[in-house]
Every structure is written in structure tokens, then in C-alpha cells.
Amino acid sequence: MALAYGAASTPEAGTAKRVGVILDEAGTVLYWAASVNAQSFPQEALDLLS
């Protein structure tokens, strides 16, 4: 999943980057951010959806 959403560059990557992804009900990517803050992104995501 990390590869699919751009959080890891290779299958051998030891860790994933913290990216933000918002999907719709069908799994279509509505929003993708290359770097997010874990503390603030939940509210940012809610704001984007409202």
C-alpha cells in the first residue's frame, strides 16, 4: 500500500514517508499530499471535505 500511494519509493524501503491521502467511496484519490503533519492533518482533511 505504501508503494501504491507514494509513501515508499521501493518495496525494500525500510519505512514509509508520512503522506496524506483522501479517498472517495469508490477508492478514487481525491487529495494527495507529499508530506503531512500527523497532529494537524485530520482537521485539514475534514476541512477539505466540507
pLDDT of residue 1: 84
Other Cβ atoms less than 10 A from the Cβ of 48: the count is: 13
Q: How far apart are CA 43 and CA 3, in angstroms?
A: 25
The strand pairing partners of 33, in sequence order, are: 20
Q: How far apart are CA 10 and CA 16, in angstroms?
A: 10
**pTM (predicted TM-score):** 0.73
pLDDT below 70 — which residues of the chain?
none
Q: Which three-class secondary structure state does DSSP give residue 48?
A: helix
